[in-house]
Structure 1
Amino acid sequence: MEARKQLSFWSQGCCIKQKPPAIPVTEELESCTGKELDSLRASQRTSFYFHNASYAAISCFFLRDSGRNTCKMVKKEISATPQRLNNFSQKKEVVDSLQTQAKEAGVCTGRVCGGSLMNIRRMSLAPRAPALVLAHAKTFLDQYYRDIQGYDSPDHKARWQAVSRSVTKRGTYDLTFDELVFGAKLAWRNAPRCIGRMQWKRLQVFDARHITTTKEMFEAICKHIEYATDGGNLRSTLTVFPQRASGRRDFRVWNPQLIAYAGYRADDGTVIGDPAWAEFTQVCQELGWQGGGGRFDVLPLVVSTPTEGPQWFDIPDELVLRVALEHPKYDWFKDLGLEWFALPAVSGMMLDCGGVEFSAAPFNGWYLSSEIASRDLCDAQRYDIIKEVGDKLGLDTRTPVTLWKDQAALEVNLAVLHSYQQAKVTLVDHHSVSESFMQFFANEHRERGGCPADWVWIVPPISGSLTPVFHQEMSLYYLKPGYEYQEVAWVAFAKQNRMLSGEEGELGGGKQRLSFRMVALAVWFSSVLYTRALSRRVRATILFATETGKSQTFAHELADVFRNNFSVQVRNMKDFEASDVKEERFVLAVVPTAGNGDPPLQAQDFVKDLYEDMMPEAVQQRLSTQLVRRLPYHTSTSVKLRNSLLS
């Protein structure tokens, strides 16, 4: 590979050329699809974005390494294909095109599906590199200003300039409160595992970014619990603590949930209480908490800051609303001594918003009845009460063919629903929430063109096929802003301490994999073209032709990048006169191939007119000869085209 020669793509696709900074070039090629490229040579003067119909999108461009004054050429393969989704009960079909905007890596490969894995895609313990922060920030601010109908306004431009300066100076920036609220709500809307997203616009956000001590964190969480519980009329609430910063430990809430019951592990391995929290219970005990040894002891809150290690605080009893469980028909159910709490508040996940990472951001909605009844109480690895209930019901529990587990689980679900209704505590059943989700699903397809959803998590743990979500195909992908899994706090705390001491890497922006849009934006900001365009905005016309919608999506994505410096219009090639090309200053074409290298139907008239009407005969002959030399020999279409051009 010759590093200073012209970079060429001769393949079934199209090229878009630009000039990066004239500095030395090194190569870093990834996901190469060599069969598609006849030649690939690196140049310090040329960069390409390459789109190919059979391999979605392939990009090749330069990334400045400011430390070494070099550029790296990065080639990435990106999937961006709309997905048809069937509803088998309604016999309807929708097309999810929103997934073409997803930039985050999933968990599935071409051969293996990881959709049933649990705590996947954990966030890194190191802060993002500034270039990635900028790329995320640009995408987020565009979303925000489009939402408030201020896109490309003076305020939008001024805000972007302020963010750019802050990231250049500090490596990060601060979201305004309005941006934070918008991002937090959008993150809930984007959450693929949540079936209750219909209420995403009603999220209440508490801004606790000013807090510095563990005591202040505890007080803010108590305020959150009190407000969110509201005497049983639960309110969706999020509290956001200070963001991650380079060179220090994170703010963390160590509890995976704000409220949970302790699990005391005995020497023989048995657990009194909730086995799901046995490990965290041991962590609390090592910090000095004792606990009462009962089945339903509320765990303390454990929090840490960059300057303070983990501190535990007992949650005041009056803040924890508990519901004693009873059955509407069986009096003996009350004698089982079961209870559950009202507020399900997740506190171990990260809010990732606009490139800013909030490692402590507890949030809550309200319970789905089957979460408590079928999972918390009946799962074998949890309280496992199902056999006790089956025996009390007089069922034959010796063999599964009597379906005694199904009958017992149904009665536990009825008891939970009845008890919460009697206590006037917000709760939703699995049938109602499934119907609500289907309405949300339809709304999202109408408003955004898609809805990320994890079918494995959306379908309730009881009566699956009796709910409408069971019969709906769903597409799993990840959008930002989002709520992301991260390392459990007690493990992260130890690792970050080792990173700060130099024993294990560095607690700063590390090397991270870059998506097409992220790198394209980062490259663009440092290119010569960016500097020149600031002083004179040039009109750019992006033409596309498509048969599947893929090239149209790619064209609009490219337009978003070019709008930083150009006045951009996106046009379908079938609606654009070839004779108008001579009036344009800058034209980019995003055109796939179809079949055996043929242009799509939308492009055929344009290509014909362009050759016949605009180019001198000598130029046509020269271009034809160059194209013939690079046509593959193995397709019948190529042979026909070669012969026609030579004739």
Structure 2
Amino acid sequence: MVLQQGFTQDCCEEEGDSSDWDEPENELRTIRGDSTAVGFSNVHKGIRQSSWDVFVECSQAWRTGILFVIVPMFSNVLRLNSPAHMSRWEQVQKEVKATDTYHLTETELVFGAKLAWRNSVRCIGRIQWSKLQVFDCRYVTTTSGMFEALCNHIKYSTNKGNIRSAITVFPQRTDGKHDFKVWNPQLLSYAGYKNPDGSILGDPANVEFTEECIKLGWKPSRTQWDILPLVLSANGHDPDYFDLPQELVLQVPLTHPTFDWFEKLQLRWYALPAVSGMLFDCGGLEFTAAPFNGWYMITEIGCRNLCDVQRLNMLEPVALRMGLDTRTPFTLWKDKALVEVNYAVLHSFQSRNITIVDHHTASETFMKHYENELRLRNGCPADWVWIVPPLSGSVTPVFHQEMAHYQLKPSYNYQLFGHALSRRIKATVLYATETGKSEMYAKKLNEIFGHAFNSQVYCLDDYDISSIEHEALILVVTSTFGNGDPPENGEVFAQNLYALKMNDSSGLTNGHDKFSMASSKSFIKANSQTELACQHTERRLDRLESLRGSVSDVMSEDTFGPLSNVRFAVFALGSSAYPNFCAFGKYVDNLLGELGGERLLKLAQGDEMCGQEQAFRKWAPEVFRVACETFCLDDDDTFLEATIALKSPTLSASTVRFMETKAEPMDAGIIEFIIFLIPTSTFVKKINKKIIFKCVFLSSALSKCHNKKVSTCNVAGAFNLHGDNA
């Protein structure tokens, strides 16, 4: 945690937790109290020990967060430790003890919102932080109420082109099940549609979100410049969509002062940049819906939105219109075209009296803000990569300024739909590998399960075995090394799993002790013993078998273990050239079952010598389907999307290398070869239609592809290097 304003040196020394007090004044200081690390810059003085005592008495969940707003606010108005300050402390303390949370006053909310903008490391326009207009909408309970508030926000901020910065704050997060959410990354954005030929109409950045809007029932016009609807959730309910009134959205047609043809490109952009997908973290509270806006810097539109390859990609069309040679980078055509696009953006906004700032002015004002912050707060957090403009970076003063990137609270944080994922069932994909093949399959499996689960992938060596009892779904992809041994990065996991089976908690190891079951003979013996034991018991570990058993069978003691709430499936890789095929995969599968885990599918094996890829492609969609059924996530569309990930990539210029070849006349030998492969009637029919068959020898094709001579040789003999006679 990082605290913006904090304690004096004397205060922390009394507590006995100070460290590094001899550092320079502008360095980030750290104190350690209880089990929490708190960093702060020593700016506001005079917080008495009594303030810290009140703070420590609060519950651990809030003791750090409350200070982020209340203490700085009273410090800012020079009323620190005043009766009003202490009274507020007591009020918050009582509220936290009673409800495990508290509510900010409107004054605290306004102060925190402004301070969060001041602390935003990626914003170059922070010099305006104190002028932020805060709309307190914590009283809203419905999506229609949210929509009305956001329309008022857009109208106020647009202000007929004289843009005003503002933020609208909806109710805070409570138990995580009743969140308010604006699903749009920005309040205003253009839709994107994928055409059948793979091209994109509109903004490529919004293709996926547009598809979700259509699923909700939105009926788009399917034009280049469709404004997306607002997708809102209130109190944890399902999202609703709302079309924005066209008169509310101020759009700017782009023209150029000297190039008349620029207007014919029919480019435009909206005037209000309103970020809506971020989380407002204030005073230990999380506001999941708090859209805010400033105004544009020209490079945001001219460089990123219009000219990025993954966006509208207008750089080359503009360069061609300018008559530039785009065949070689030596003409600097990209640089010239980029400048003109940004010039057009600046001209278009200014000619209509719409607020916008150029990157040179923005850089100079940021440097003034930076100097003020050094003087007032002994530091200014900034992310150099984001602060430096994407155009003419080295001629702006921010390019040459070394910056420190650290986090202060209150803050605006990226959510990345993290809360939506947290509602999903967690799936953990584990792998152990020597050659990388298991890792490749594990990542592919993780991609598939990511369509319906909160899926994460770990190497067995990096996985915390203490978490295994709390997993919902475990998928293991592992190879077998040598003559039945585990891969090196799976040894510790196997030992810890065995220790768990033996109910020996002291057996958990960090890898420094000798692995008692690391020999191939141990794994082979363990597997054979387990398989033999399974023949004499009726433990119903398989999912389908458990459904067939009686209640008394299912509830018997044998079916319970430390992993009784865990579902699992194992895909074992190996080579049948070795006598102990997939020994380690079998061992892991058996142990997980013996520990009480519910097996979704029987162990699947992929033979390196024959059909390993095909075995995985068969197993992966099947285990995904069974997992979805088990967790009641049946959705045909989701299953279809997931299985697409298993399809081989289509042959295109982006995936393979195409080479032009000249048609060559076929000799009699080739004709005979074709007749041998194709039924006679079919061949004659095609010959009658004058369709020419072409056959190129492999050696000839390889020679042309690699520009080297390739010869064909006959195999003299083949030997099994792992056989008995090797």
Same fold judged by TM-score > 0.5? yes
Change (3 A) 1:195 1:392: same
Q: 1:98 to 1:431 in 2, by over 3 A?
A: farther
Q: Which amino acid aligns with 1:49?
A: D
Contact 1:255/1:348 (8 A) holds in 2: yes
Deviation at 1:443, TM superposition (A): 1.1
> Contact 1:347/1:363 (CA < 8 Å) preserved in 2?
yes
1:49 to 7, 11, 17: 17
- The answer for the alignment partner of 2:423 in structure 1 is 496
SS at match of 1:245: coil
1:494 Cα deviation from its structure 2 partner: 5.7
2:330 corresponds, among 394, 397, 401, to 401
Q: Does 1:319 align with 2:248?
A: yes
In 2, are the aligned partners of 1:130 and 1:172 still within 8 Å (CA)? no
CA distance in 1, matches of 2:218, 2:191: 11
Shift of 1:496: 2.9
| Structure 1 residues 393-415: Cα deviation after superposition (integer angstroms, max 9, x where no partner) | 00000011110000000110110
| Secondary structure of 1:303's aligned partner | strand
Which residue of 256, 274, 299 corresponds with 2:203? Answer: 274
Work out whether 1:470 is the aligned partner of 2:378: no
Closer, same or farther: CA 60–371 of 1 in aligned 2, 3 Å = closer
- Establish whether residue 234 from structure 1 lines up as the match of residue 202 from structure 2: no
8 Å CA contact 2:69–2:111 kept in 1: the answer is no
Distance 2:375 2:281 in 1: 26
AA aligned to 1:496 is R
Q: Is residue 314 of structure 2 the alignment partner of residue 385 of structure 1?
A: yes
1:441 maps to 2:409: no
Aligned ranges for residues 140-539 of structure 1 at < 5 Å? 140-246=69-175, 248-488=177-417, 492-493=419-420, 495-496=422-423
Q: How far is the alpha carbon of 1:59 from its aligned partner?
A: 6.4
Q: Is the 8 A contact 2:421 2:454 kept in 1?
A: no
In structure 2, distance between residues paired with 1:323 and 1:479: 36
Deviation at 1:431, TM superposition (A): 0.6
CA distance in 2, matches of 1:141, 1:54: 28
Residues 450 and 17 of structure 1: is their aligned pair in 2 closer, same or farther, counting only changes over 3 Å? closer
Letter in 1 for 2:179: D
**CA-CA distance at 1:290 after TM superposition:** 2.6
Deviation at 1:271, TM superposition (A): 1.4
- What letter corresponds to residue 51 of structure 1 in structure 2? S
Shift in Å, 1:168 = 1.2
Give SS of 1:451's match: coil
Task: Verify the 8 A CA contact 2:68 2:284 in the aligned structure 1.
Answer: no
Contact 1:389 1:408 in 2 (8 A): yes
Structure 2 letter corresponding to 1:168: K
Provide closer, same or farther for how the CA distance between residues 139 and 331 of structure 1 changes in structure 2, counting only shifts above 3 A. Answer: closer
- Give the aligned residue type for 2:79: G
Shift of 1:353: 0.8
Task: Report how far residue 285 of structure 1 moved.
Answer: 1.2
Question: Matches of 1:440 and 1:17 in 2, distance apart?
Answer: 35
| Alignment-derived partner of residue 583 in structure 1 | none
Distance 1:474 1:202 in 2: 24
Superposed CA deviations along residues 471-519 of structure 1, whole A, max 9, x for unmatched, are 111111110111111132xx633633769xxx989xxxxxxxxxxxxxx
- CA displacement, residues 1-52 of structure 1 (integer Å, 9 cap, x when unaligned): xxxxxxxxxxxxxx9687xxxxxxxxxxxxxxxxxxxxxxxxxxxxx63636
- Structure 2: 5+ residue runs without aligned partners? 1-11, 45-57, 427-452, 456-726
Contact preservation (8 Å) 1:50, 1:57: no
- Which secondary structure state, in structure 1, belongs to the residue aligned with residue 135 of structure 2? strand
Q: 1:134·1:164 contact (CA, 8 Å) conserved in 2?
A: no
CA distance in 1, matches of 2:153, 2:179: 20
> Higher mean Cα deviation, 302-311 or 368-377?
302-311
Is the alpha carbon distance of 1:50 and 1:233 closer, same or farther for their aligned partners in structure 2, counting shifts above 3 Å?
Answer: closer
* Partners of 1:49 and 1:58 within 8 A in 2: no
Deviations for 1:422-471, whole angstroms, at most 9, x for unmatched residues?
Answer: 11110000011111111111111111111111110000010001111111
- Preserved CA contact (<8 Å) 2:250 2:270: yes
Equivalents in 2 of 1:368, 1:268: separation in Å?
35
1:642 equivalent in structure 2:
none
Provide Cα deviations, 1:105-135, integer angstroms capped at 9, x if missing partner: xxxxxxxxxxxxxxxxxxxxxxxx9523232
Contact 2:179 2:236 in 1 (8 A): no
What secondary structure sits across from 1:484 in the alignment? Answer: strand
CA contact (8 A) 1:135 1:355 kept: yes
Compute the displacement of 1:270 (Å): 2.2
Partner SS, residue 221 of structure 2: coil
Q: How many residues align?
A: 402
Deviations 1:162-190 (A, max 9, x none): 11111111121111111111111111011
Equivalent position SS for 2:412: strand
User: Alpha-carbon deviation of 1:137?
Assistant: 0.5
Question: Where does the alignment leave 5 or more consecutive residues of structure 1 unmatched?
Answer: 1-14, 19-47, 63-73, 83-96, 100-128, 506-647
Following TM superposition, by how much is the alpha carbon of 1:53 offset from its aligned partner in structure 2, in angstroms? 7.9
In 2, Cα distance between equivalents of 1:445 and 1:144: 19
Q: Describe the shift of the 1:16–1:194 C-alpha distance in structure 2 as closer, same or farther (beyond 3 A).
A: closer
Separation in structure 2 between the aligned mates of residue 430 and residue 354 of structure 1, nearest angstrom: 33
Are the aligned partners of 1:209 and 1:240 in contact in 2 as well (CA < 8 Å)? yes
3-state SS of 1:133 partner:
coil
Question: Taking structure 1 as reference, are residues 130 and 263 closer, same or farther at Cα in structure 2, changes over 3 Å only?
Answer: farther
Quote the residue 1:113 is aligned against. Answer: none
CA RMSD across the alignment: 2.7
- Whose RCO is larger (CA < 8 A, sep 6+)? 1
The answer as to whether partners of 1:262 and 1:298 remain within 8 angstroms in 2 is yes
Following superposition, the deviation at residue 226 of structure 1 comes to: 0.3
| C-alpha displacement of 1:197 | 0.6
Shift of 1:75: 8.4
2:516 aligned residue: none
Q: Is 1:249–1:496's contact at 8 Å kept on the other side of the alignment? A: no
What does the per-residue CA deviation read over 1:555-610, in whole Å, with 9 as the maximum and x for residues that have no partner? xxxxxxxxxxxxxxxxxxxxxxxxxxxxxxxxxxxxxxxxxxxxxxxxxxxxxxxx
In the TM superposition, what is the alpha-carbon distance from 1:54 to its structure 2 partner?
A: 10
Residues in 2 aligned to 1:477 and 1:274: alpha-carbon distance in whole angstroms: 33
Judging changes above 3 Å, is the alpha-carbon distance between structure 1 residues 53 and 173 closer, same or farther for their aligned structure 2 residues?
closer
Answer whether contact 2:180 2:236 (CA < 8 A) is retained: no
Secondary structure class of the residue paired with 2:61: helix
In the superposition, the TM-score normalised over structure 2's length comes to: 0.53
Matching of residues 79-90 of structure 1 within 5 Å? none
Structure of larger gyration radius: 2
Farther-moved stretch of structure 1 (281-290 vs 196-205): 281-290
Q: Is the 8 A contact 2:68 2:282 kept in 1?
A: no
Alpha-carbon offset, residue 356 of structure 1: 1.3
The alpha-carbon distance between structure 1 residues 61 and 456, as it changes in their structure 2 partners (threshold 3 A), is closer
Letter in 1 for 2:382: A
Is the partner of 2:380 in helix, strand or coil? Answer: coil
Q: TM-score, normalised by structure 1?
A: 0.59
